[in-house]
Structure 1
Amino acid sequence: MTWTQLPLGPIQTNAYILNNSKGDALIFDPGGDADTLLQWLQDKQITPLAILLTHAHFDHIGAVDAVRDAYSIPVYLHKNEENWLEDPELNRSTAFLGRTKVTARPAEKILHGEQSLQIGSFSCNVLETPGHSPGSVSFYFENEGIVFSGDALFASSIGRTDLPGGNHQQLLESIHSKLMDLPEETIVACGHGPTTTILREMDSNPFLNAL
């Protein structure tokens, strides 16, 4: 398996593509610039099997419908945010973008709690990591040694919690109980900025070491 980070959309949110040697792939958080993403997939001869959303803020969903329609694939989203895709107030595009409203059709696959997912040859564990938003999840691929954490954990930082549905203490608890329990060498594929590792954040993240 290989993975690629592509910053997309109005605030350069990291989309990730995890693909196998056959060219099958999963897409995480396609935040915008649909034409760029679709052209990249075509150039690399990669065929996505599903879109997995860590959460449904506007900057993570801008290219969802375009990619979903191009490949006739399902979208996965936690139940606590199942209404956010259609609602620009809930996904915060109204607040941040004004007249430019970001929406998408409802997700085909609703995640109810923590579970294991098997999509084609891809296998992962869904970890509930709320705090940045009520339906935030992280997708942990044990065999690949990587977790797609969305906006829960960043390199030397954590997700903001001042948006509706955010909760600072809940986010810290999510990070400590779910992400910090992963193997230290696990790569953290963050929603913004560079990737990091569990060990690096365990040792140097000021938000986590202040406790």
Structure 2
Amino acid sequence: MNWEQIPLGPLQTNCYIIANKEKKCLIFDPGEEGSKLIRHLEQRKLTPLAILLTHAHFDHIGAVDDIRNRYHIPVYLHEQEKGWLMDPALNGSQFFMMGPIKVNPADHVINGEGKMEVGDFSFEVFATPGHSPGSVSYYFEDGFVVSGDALFQGSIGRTDLPGGNHEVLIKSIHEKLLVLPEETQVLPGHGPTTTIESEMDSNPFLNGF
């Protein structure tokens, strides 16, 4: 299994493609530039099975319908944010100059934690709220976790948007992410990848907790 990081849109939100040897793939957070992402998938001869969202902020959802409609695949999102896709005030697009973003409802809502399977892919879902109330992280035993905007290299997600809570975010990171094997690669929603070990050692927002 391998992963690719593709920054998309004006905020360079990281979309991730997780693919297996059979060229099947999962798509995480297709934030913008749907045509660019489709071209990439076609060039790589990949067959998407699903779209999984770490949360429903506008910069993570802008190309959801482009990809869903092109490949006729389901979208997964945590139940606490199931109404955000259609609401520019909740997904935050109302407050930015690019204009309101509305996306059709998710096909499946995630309402718990634990093992999840999509096709031949198996992974774990962790609730990691704080940046937003329905933020989740997806952990693959191959050694990586898609953390959305919870944890970044040397930083953490902002908590000044609707439903954000700094204390809740710190608790999520410590209880759900920092307990993973230290060599686990962290695939964040923005910026470069990192590891659990690096963030435990040097992230200024986590030291001394």
Alpha-carbon offset, residue 9 of structure 1 = 1.3
Find the counterpart in structure 1 of residue 146 from structure 2.
Answer: 148
1:80-130 deviation digits (Å, cap 9, x = unpaired): 0000001111100010136x1111100001000212111111101100000
Q: Which amino acid aligns with 1:195?
A: T
Find the counterpart in structure 2 of residue 176 from structure 1.
Answer: 174
Q: Which amino acid aligns with 1:127?
A: F
* Alpha-carbon distance between aligned partners in 2 of 1:185 and 1:114, rounded to the nearest angstrom: 22
Find the counterpart in structure 1 of residue 114 from structure 2.
Answer: 115
SS in 2 for 1:97: coil
* Alpha-carbon distance between aligned partners in 1 of 2:118 and 2:16, rounded to the nearest angstrom: 16
TM-score relative to the length of structure 2: 0.99
Alpha-carbon offset, residue 24 of structure 1 = 0.2
* Alpha-carbon distance between aligned partners in 2 of 1:65 and 1:175, rounded to the nearest angstrom: 30
1:123-149 deviation digits (Å, cap 9, x = unpaired): 01100000000000000011x111000
Q: Which amino acid aligns with 1:104?
A: V
* Alpha-carbon distance between aligned partners in 1 of 2:129 and 2:84, rounded to the nearest angstrom: 15
**After the TM superposition, which parts of structure 1 deviate over 6 Å for at least 4 consecutive aligned residues?**
none
* Alpha-carbon distance between aligned partners in 1 of 2:39 and 2:11, rounded to the nearest angstrom: 20
Find the counterpart in structure 2 of residue 104 from structure 1.
Answer: 103
Find the counterpart in structure 2 of residue 167 from structure 1.
Answer: 165
1:206 is the counterpart of 2:193 = no
* Alpha-carbon distance between aligned partners in 2 of 1:7 and 1:125, rounded to the nearest angstrom: 24
TM-score relative to the length of structure 1: 0.98
RMSD of aligned Cα (Å): 0.7
Alpha-carbon offset, residue 185 of structure 1 = 0.4
* Alpha-carbon distance between aligned partners in 2 of 1:140 and 1:147, rounded to the nearest angstrom: 4
- Alignment gaps of 5+ in structure 1: none
Alpha-carbon offset, residue 210 of structure 1 = 3.6
1:136-179 deviation digits (Å, cap 9, x = unpaired): 0000011x111000000000000000111000000000000000
SS in 1 for 2:187: strand
- Alignment gaps of 5+ in structure 2: none
1:31 is the counterpart of 2:11 = no
In the alignment of these two chains, the number of paired residues is 209
